Structure 1
Amino acid sequence: MSALERVSRLTRAAVFAAVCVVMSAGGHVLAGGTPVTVWTLFVGMVAAFALAYALNRHERGPEIVVTATAGAQLLLHELYTRSVSVSITQADHVHAGTNGVGMSVAHLVVAVMSGWWLYRGESAFWLMVRLWGMAPLPKLRRLLVGAVEPFTPPIRVVLAAEAKTYRGPELVRAIPRRGPPALLNAR
């Protein structure tokens, strides 16, 4: 793997991890009201980074990116929930009872939205890589003029024995009146 490929993978993994952790922690704090410790954010960032680095060797489709984001969001939700200080009892914590389901649903909604956003960014990145690798002049001409290649009809040799006049049903009703009017031809 070249140095450029390593930097590319590290950068994309860092973006994935940052989006997952920041959106998850922000939503968790806003919905749950409990602060997330810096140590927990660091552990979440390392875990999301490791997941992204393992998956981003080549371009992935939306199903993989959104699933990985959803999995990361749910794991981060559990990490944040378990990192709550022991001084806060389970009854006082927002995740108790039915609110835990609402928090999980909120994490999944954020996961799908951010997963789609990350997929579109990943798709744009790989498009740029493909465009960068193209030979410039022919590809630039194709982009500016269009992908229209000049048409060259196929050449087929027809022997005289094979040649015959086509009299299919399409031509039965054709009127053979070509040429000048009949009055002009009379002499």
Structure 2
Amino acid sequence: MHVLRLMRAAVFAVVCVTVSMAMHTLAQGAPVAPGVLAGAMPPVAVGAFFLARRQRGLGVLMGAGFATQYGLHLWFSAGMVPPPTEHPHGGGLSAGLFMLLVHVATALLSAYWLERGESGLAVILRLLVASVLTLLVWRAPVIAHRVTPPARGDDRVPLVTRLLTAAVSRRGPPAGFSVI
């Protein structure tokens, strides 16, 4: 199960960091060095791996998404080529607000994607397990155990056992008939 969780975390890290970098570059106007992009993926993958231990709610995922986007913003800003000296389009406040909105949108989309993906994966796995179990039970050979009553007139069988044998009804479906 750890391998599946690791693969999901790695795919999420690649997509999340790449989308975040593209949006950051769009907002900032300067490209990010490839080494900076590669250096951002392992921490995001480790965080996604630990968050994927169990199904999380949208609130937890949004908090993690905002923290991740803040960290990625700082990481990408430090690794811009060339380092930014002024914001594009000449406006400090409007450019900073645009950058904030870009990272907030990316965090919300990442959290929503993770939450819906987790829910979808959980449903698929539950259906798969239920299908496999149903097939196993359906295909399982019918094992019939014959119950043999104690021999009549045998003095070794206690009287209580003989009375209970006569009183217990073993009525039920035929041995060859099976429902699930």
For the aligned pair, the TM-score class normalised by the smaller chain equals: 0.5 to 0.7
- Whole-Å separation in 1 of the counterparts to 2:99 and 2:30: 12
Q: Is the 8 A contact 2:69 2:103 kept in 1?
A: yes
Structure 1 position 18, deviation (Å): 1.6
Structure 1 92/100 Cα, relative in aligned 2: closer, same or farther at 3 Å?
closer
The structure where helix makes up a greater share of residues is 2
Identify unmatched segments of 5+ residues in structure 2: 139-180
- Whole-Å separation in 2 of the counterparts to 1:95 and 1:130: 54
Query: Per the alignment, in what secondary structure is the counterpart of residue 92 of structure 2?
Result: coil
- Whole-Å separation in 1 of the counterparts to 2:4 and 2:118: 11
Structure 1 position 8, deviation (Å): 1.1
Which of 92, 113, 117 aligns to 2:113? It is 117
Q: Is the 8 A contact 1:16 1:52 kept in 2?
A: yes
Q: Does 1:52 align with 2:44?
A: no
- Percent of residue pairs bearing the same amino acid type: 33
Structure 1 position 139, deviation (Å): 11
Structure 1 position 37, deviation (Å): 1.0
Matches within 5 A, 1:99-114: 99-114=95-110
Q: Is the 8 A contact 2:30 2:84 kept in 1?
A: no
Query: Per the alignment, in what secondary structure is the counterpart of residue 54 of structure 2?
Result: coil
RMSD of aligned alpha carbons:
2.6
Residue 39 of structure 1 aligns with which residue?
35
What whole-Å deviation, never above 9, does each CA across 1:39-66 have from its counterpart, x for those lacking one?
Answer: 1111111111011111111111222222
Q: Is the 8 A contact 2:70 2:103 kept in 1?
A: yes
What whole-Å deviation, never above 9, does each CA across 1:91-129 have from its counterpart, x for those lacking one?
Answer: 366798212232022110121023202211111111112
Residue 91 of structure 1 aligns with which residue?
86
TM-score (norm 2): 0.66
Q: Is the 8 A contact 1:33 1:94 kept in 2?
A: no
Identify unmatched segments of 5+ residues in structure 1: 141-187
